[in-house]
Structure 1
């Protein structure tokens, strides 16, 4: 159950961070205003909170693994929200990142 919880937290963190960054981007680059920027800042703050809920207590491990989730999640966000179409190299790279996440987070460890 802790692996499923961890994966859910990674997905929630990705939504908060990628969504927050997108909102700030929209507010500044697309001139959508302070409401978008403020919502983005709040979402980015929520990401920081969600990351602390991971079952593993090692900050470096959590952030390293989340980096792979962020890479893959950013491509998915781009596809769903901005009409981005990744090429095969994007997909291969994201797959490598997610395999890295699995190794970092869920490989068996001795005490």
Structure 2
């Protein structure tokens, strides 16, 4: 159950962080204005809060593992929000990153 909770929290963190960065991007680069930027800043703050809810107590481990979730999530976000088409190397790289997440977070420790 702890692994499932951890995965859900990683997904929520990715939505908040990637979504927040995307909103800021839209506000600045696509000239959508300060409301988009402000919403992005709020979402980025929510990301920081969600990360603290991870069941593991080690900040470095959580953030290191989250990096792999961020990589895969960013590609997925680009596909959904911007019509980005990842190539096979993008997919392979994302899978390697997710394998790293599994090793860092869920390997048995004694």
TM-score by length of 2: 1.00
SS at match of 1:86: coil
How far, CA to CA, are the matches of 1:92 and 1:48 in structure 2? 28
Q: Is it true that 1:48 corresponds to 2:48 in the alignment?
A: yes
Q: Is it true that 1:35 corresponds to 2:35 in the alignment?
A: yes
SS at match of 1:31: coil
Structure 2 stretches lacking a partner, 5+ long: none
Structure 2 equivalent of residue 8 of structure 1: 8
Aligned residues: 110
- Tell me the CA shift for residue 38 of structure 1: 0.2
- Tell me the CA shift for residue 94 of structure 1: 0.1
Structure 1 equivalent of residue 100 of structure 2: 100
How far, CA to CA, are the matches of 1:6 and 1:57 in structure 2? 12
**How much is the aligned-residue C-alpha RMSD, in angstroms?**
0.2
Q: Is it true that 1:63 corresponds to 2:100 in the alignment?
A: no
Following TM superposition, where does structure 1 have runs of at least 4 consecutive aligned residues deviating by more than 2 angstroms?
none
Structure 1 stretches lacking a partner, 5+ long: none
